[in-house]
Structure 1
Amino acid sequence: MKFLHTSDWHLGRSFHRVNMLGAQAAFVDHLVEAVREHEVDAVLVAGDVYDRAVPPLPAVELYDRALHRLADLGVPTVMISGNHDSARRLGVGAGLIGRAGIHLRTDPAGCADPVVLADVHGDVAFYGLPYLEPALVKDTFAAEKVSHEAVLGAAMDRIRADLAGRAPGTRSVVLAHAFVTGGQASDSERDIAVGGVEAVPACVFDGVDYAALGHLHGCQTINERVRYSGSPLAYSFSEAAHRKTMWLIDLGPAGEITAERIDTPVPRPLARLRGRLEDLLEDPAHTAHEDAWIEATLTD
């Protein structure tokens, strides 16, 4: 089964007061075209669809158009809420929207209720694990303590229990929004630390074939089966060196993983320069950055 893994759209976000909605719309166009071109079987969105709990109306309209276009393709989409989203607002109408093939997973209590899709090799269970705020979901999962590792581990135990009760050979994918140990952060992510601890070990996802992660904005491979897609656009100068992509994942009949990065459109490159003002303005070495957004550190 072939699917696209993306996350952290942050619809409605600006870049140093520059409106990014046009660039976000161009990404949606690219996503729809990639679904067609690569003939994918599913699209995964691992949280932070919006940049804030109450997004501006143009961002909501872009989201609505994106869902309609994905539904029109007839390709199922599985989407979870992230720490920037309002899970309750994002999940409104999930039952109705699900009939169109857009599966919203925003309720932590339903994490072990997968979207089951099938290919010629059998079933693939997609488990949507929305962002878990430890203090709010500790009791839901009967976690031993208020920590990201405890609540995520308890949720994964429920998922593994459900998977164990399914037909032998059922493959599995988990969408999660978390900070996994080994991941590299950037300046544009909101801190999710609890008591100074935010990271969870990658082994929490043991037992599933693929973990499609969101939260960190750089595309990263924690291990073969645990990956971040990163954000499709740069939202801070700390991402100047990022290559913005989506993961195209091919899940084999026995759970084998083949992964390819699909580049997303770059509306304008970023550059971080340092030097004397006169040199930055006149040195021909900087010609390549004339059309970039610049973060300049002046040493005069």
Structure 2
Amino acid sequence: MLILHTSDWHLGRSFHGTGLLQAQREVLDQMAATVRERGVDLVVVSGDVYDRALPAADAVEVLDRALAELVSAGAAVVLTSGNHDSAIRLGFGGHLMGASGVHFRTRMDQVTAPVVLEDPDGGLVAVYGVPYLEPRHAGQVWEVDPNHTAVTAEAVRRIREDAEARFGGQDQEAAVIAMAHLFAAGGAGSDSERDIGADVLQGQPPENQETENQAPENQETENQETENQETENQAPENQETENQETENQETENQAPEDQETENQEGRADCPSEELLVGTLGQVPVSVFEGIDYVALGHLHGRQRMAETVRYSGSPLPYSFSEANHTKGGLLVRTAGGTVTGVETVDWSAGRKLAVLRGRIEDLMDNPDHAWAEDRWCQITVTDPLRPPQAYRRLKERFDGLLNFVLDPEVGAAAVKSTYAARLAAATTDLEVCTGFVEHVRQRPASASETALLTTALAESRTELGDEGSAA
């Protein structure tokens, strides 16, 4: 049997305010083509089918069409809910759809309800779908510790026990496949993944848990994609502000653009994972011992945690930290009740990504950057002084500029004191103002700026009767 392992479709997601539904349609068409061309028997989707618990109507239509195409191409489909999905909504109609070859596993009581298929190459394949397990709820129901490792270990224990009871005495061997949506210890994350440990820390309800505070159904509109816009480090396309330098600066944790290892395609350290305390949200791979293949979802980079424990990664890049990822899925072959091999399959849809960094003149004039002109771009300008109309100029060459960042290269002679220290040292109103300019622009106020501030202060004193002067 040939199984196509996918995950993290995130249907309905937008990328820095740009809708991705057309690119998602394209990549799902490529997925269906792979099923036809390679003779895939089963497609598994390990969580985060949608990008949010209340998906927009057009995202639902994309899923409906994709499932019809995959079944028409000759494959059965098993889907589990992730931390972005509403388990109840995603699983609606599951009993009826199962008869058509589309199987949803979105509830805890379905962990021991495998989809069992005859393997054309001999034996059986039993697919156990584990939905995203919110630790507090799952821990209470299963009477185990309320953490990701404990609830996952309990799910796997139940799977092993069920598989032994079902297949232990049969003549046919069964390959046991488990689907799970979690952060495996040692995995490499990216900027587009929601931290699954933060809800444990902050006491927030999980995204896939129904609550009384959930938005009414009638608030759903065709334009809901705008609610998914990424706001971190995003500059408005038509606006540059003086504060962008401090709000949008990249950190020193960014991996080199060409970094790629066996377990990583992209950045391993990103802001979303820094919310974790130690390894609170991470699950050791050893938990899955005894399972023939574990089809993981949640991390968006394709990676191998162990020979038979893998992430397929998302079919599209959803952050600039994934600019160098190769996107696609994994083809898992079984025969005679065992896994006999795993290979990659690549897809490409929508505009590619580019991450550029440098001084404005080099970015504008260097022909070496021509490759990025037709891509979605994140560009960091490093000039010591803010170039005039930098965003507009860059947009003329790179019309796909979505994220504009100012990160001035400051020389060794630059003042390193904090803004609070500057305030403490200031003896006049002018020094307070020029200190603010220096803090924001990371260089001393120019003569023209100082003159403008002097004039403004004098006018304000005149209007206020000198009440605004420093004590």
Q: TM-score, length-normalised on structure 1?
A: 0.97
**Larger deviation, residues 159-168 vs 12-21:** 159-168
Task: Report what 1:176 is aligned to.
Answer: 180
- Greater Rg over alpha carbons, structure: 2
Task: Report what 1:247 is aligned to.
Answer: 330
Per the alignment, in what secondary structure is the counterpart of residue 151 of structure 1?
helix
| Structure 1 segment 87-166 matched on structure 2, within 5 A | 87-119=87-119, 120-143=121-144, 145-166=145-166
Per the alignment, in what secondary structure is the counterpart of residue 164 of structure 1?
helix
2:77 aligned with 1:77, yes or no?
Answer: yes
2:11 aligned with 1:7, yes or no?
Answer: no
Q: For residues 103 and 364 of structure 2, what CA distance do their matches in structure 1 show?
A: 51
Q: For residues 73 and 36 of structure 1, what CA distance do their matches in structure 2 show?
A: 5
C-alpha contact 1:42 1:76 (8 A) present in aligned 2:
yes
C-alpha contact 1:273 1:295 (8 A) present in aligned 2:
yes
Per the alignment, in what secondary structure is the counterpart of residue 260 of structure 1?
strand
| Structure 1 segment 181-200 matched on structure 2, within 5 A | 181-193=185-197, 194-195=200-201, 196=277, 197-200=280-283
The Cα shift of 1:7 comes to: 0.5
Q: Identity, % of aligned pairs?
A: 50
Q: TM-score, length-normalised on structure 2?
A: 0.62
Per the alignment, in what secondary structure is the counterpart of residue 234 of structure 1?
coil
C-alpha contact 1:132 1:151 (8 A) present in aligned 2:
yes
Per the alignment, in what secondary structure is the counterpart of residue 30 of structure 2?
helix
The one-letter amino acid of 1:233's match is L
Per the alignment, in what secondary structure is the counterpart of residue 85 of structure 1?
coil
Task: Report what 1:280 is aligned to.
Answer: 363
More strand by share: 1
Task: Report what 1:213 is aligned to.
Answer: 296
Task: Report what 2:379 is aligned to.
Answer: 296
Please list every run of 5 or more consecutive structure 1 residues that lacks an aligned counterpart in the other structure: none
Task: Report what 2:37 is aligned to.
Answer: 37
The Cα shift of 1:142 comes to: 1.9
C-alpha contact 1:272 1:295 (8 A) present in aligned 2:
yes
The Cα shift of 1:67 comes to: 1.6
Q: For residues 234 and 242 of structure 1, what CA distance do their matches in structure 2 show?
A: 7
Q: 1:33-66: per-residue Cα shift (whole Å, max 9, x none)?
A: 1000000110010010000000111101111111
C-alpha contact 1:71 1:101 (8 A) present in aligned 2:
yes
Task: Report what 1:269 is aligned to.
Answer: 352
Q: For residues 202 and 106 of structure 1, what CA distance do their matches in structure 2 show?
A: 22
Task: Report what 2:451 is aligned to.
Answer: none
C-alpha contact 1:131 1:176 (8 A) present in aligned 2:
yes
The one-letter amino acid of 1:295's match is Q
Please list every run of 5 or more consecutive structure 2 residues that lacks an aligned counterpart in the other structure: 202-276, 384-471
How many residues align? The count is 299
The Cα shift of 1:254 comes to: 5.0
Aligned-residue RMSD, C-alpha: 1.1
Q: For residues 77 and 150 of structure 1, what CA distance do their matches in structure 2 show?
A: 28
2:277 aligned with 1:202, yes or no?
Answer: no
The Cα shift of 1:113 comes to: 1.0
